[in-house]
Structure 1
Amino acid sequence: MQRATLKIWFLVHKWTSLVCTVFLLLLCLTGLPLIFWEEIGHLTGASPEVAPAPAGMPRANADELIERALAQYPGDVPLFFGWDDHSPSVYVNTGARPDTPPAEMHTVVMHEYTGEILPASQFNEGVMYFLYRLHTDVFVGLGGTLFLGAMALLFAAAIVSGVVLYAPFMRKLSFGTVRMGRNRRLAWLDLHNLLGIVTVAWALVVGLTGAINTLAAPMQQAWQSQQLAAFIEHYKDAPRPTELASLDAAIATARAAEPGMTPAYVSFPGTGYSGDHHYGVFMHGDTAITERLYRPVLIDAQTGALTAQPQLPSYMTALLLSQPLHFGDYGGLPLKFLWAILDLLTILVLISGLYLWWRRGSTEARITEIERGGLAPATAETP
């Protein structure tokens, strides 16, 4: 590779890394406990274990569960009704108005069969929610989310440029070489290169899926305005219904329409997920992949009639698949531990990168070091 080309790649790696490293450290540090959000909830009692359903008992009526949830927060309206795939429990999100943002919602968790209200912390409170907001939008909303997405893309550029530089740098060195006996900068450089190449595939996948996840709100808005609009066109001049059809019957209609799937959650009219006149019953499969691929079934919220079963566009499918891949929560606890280990190694890569920038020499000296396969003479740096 010519020296001029090496210099371009070196500068790309240097500046993309410098711009994003502090934010990536924030994302890695906050993302680590979020990998184990469910397990931490069980340990702290925020998400207690739910007793199995009594043998032969039918599910509680969904309309009665909604009424029970609304009694906990008088004046609220129902927003979402959903199922926990790993326990016989359901949740109901309520709010002061149909477009209540998640940070202002109330949550009631109940036993799916007995209807008992279960002890559970609110999603929008506590340490884990604080870490979640830091990780997703640094408490400034969509602007913060999109900014973090841009940092994730810079991180991907830093990874790609680092891989390009790795090959010529390691030309005369054995894989895994960490030169501890010469000076501190060389040892940190070798460690940075080793950990970087070991984690490169994981870091690139997590970085790109993180960037995709930051586009969730714009993607959902595009889907609603483009695809859903075609199904709800003839409702556009009608006021939002105040008397709703049976939710329990709407769920049964959706189950019959998609017999090979089970309901994941239901959005109420006005929440933005199914327009102003429909229940959106979002169905999914029962495997590690298909449980993330939702199929919406639109039920007229006033008559209870089936309106449509729209297909999700490819960009929404990419979003849904990227979410579990980002946090490693589709393969059970062993995969989560692997994600945590790789996260810690990436933190070391970022810290070592900052140290190397602090102990930087001239750009020309660094290019010479790469050209010589990492065997350039040591400079007059402190050992």
Structure 2
Amino acid sequence: MIILGIDPGYGTIGYGVVRFDNMKFTAIQYGAAKTAPGTPMHLRLCEIYDDICTLVDTFHPDEVSIEELFFSKNITTGIQVAQARGVILLALAQKGLHPVSYTPNQVKMAVVGYGNAEKKQMMEMTKSILHLTKLPRPDDAADALALAICHGHSRQAMRYEGLYFMFYYVDGTVSVLQTGLAVIDCGGVGYACHASQNTISRLKIGTKARLLTYLNVREGIFELYGFIDEEEKSCFEMMIGVSGVGPKAALSILSVAPPDRLALSIITGDEKMLTQAPGIGKKIAQRIVLELRDKMSKEQLESASAASPVAAADLSGGVNHTQEAVAALMVLGYTQAEALHAMKQIDTAGMEADEIIRQCLKKLVKQ
């Protein structure tokens, strides 16, 4: 797919032509078309029209992205840019193309992962994604390339119905910690990750950290979510698969019910635990418990509760606790054999089910 990104203007029109194939971006050409100052506006618009037609005829783009116009404090300048943008849209329409508009924040989220990213961060990330040897210039061309990248990510996300993962993980230094947010600095680029309190409590500003990530895409908005381990990410993905549960609700639940508690709540039908999370009512909690229990087949549940060398042992913690722990680990995606193998390596005497699960998870993560 060849994507043409356009940064509209009446004095300088940035453009960037990018090839997007197999999840990789390659810059074909970029630059800026200019109109001379002092030239009557109607003649400048004619030049812009001709320049856009030439670009389309030269590079034959499959799709086009253009920056959404935002109101300027200078009303005269805003009107002139709007006129130029209208001519650009006309030229594209007459060439049979249907441009897609993106706001500056949407572009920043798509390229950097942070809606308030600075110009330098945007240019560095654009250079990295396109494997350029130097920062793209002029700024208008850099913006156009970023628009093309944004559209490529958006198109790919739509192809996978919003379940597109742009990053598997981010690895760097923790630079910002706020309620529900962790910013990881990776080579001078800050990735803002929405995170649960469970994850944030295990991070410290100035230290190295690696967060597994999930990119949520909806209506052109890109939101990055970070997780301290595979178990938390797996629980998050299972919950957003439940009807009516979005990413923020899932994160809210994980803040009060880490993976071990969540799995146990599902197995025991403890919906009250889930309603402790802000924004989670009784109906949603019941739906989560029912739908996630249903994901385990009847045979799995019977198998998890069946007698085994560990479950049958006469432990002071009680056989029900070990059975619940095995079933909960199976909810998290582990097989019964894996759960029992991990359980054999710990002394479950006197342990409650949630502690057994927690200790087993430590063993399973190391395997």
Q: TM-score range, shorter-chain basis?
A: under 0.3
Structure with the higher fraction of residues in strand conformation: 2
Larger RCO, structure (CA 8 Å, separation 6 or more): 1
Q: TM-score, normalised by structure 2?
A: 0.23
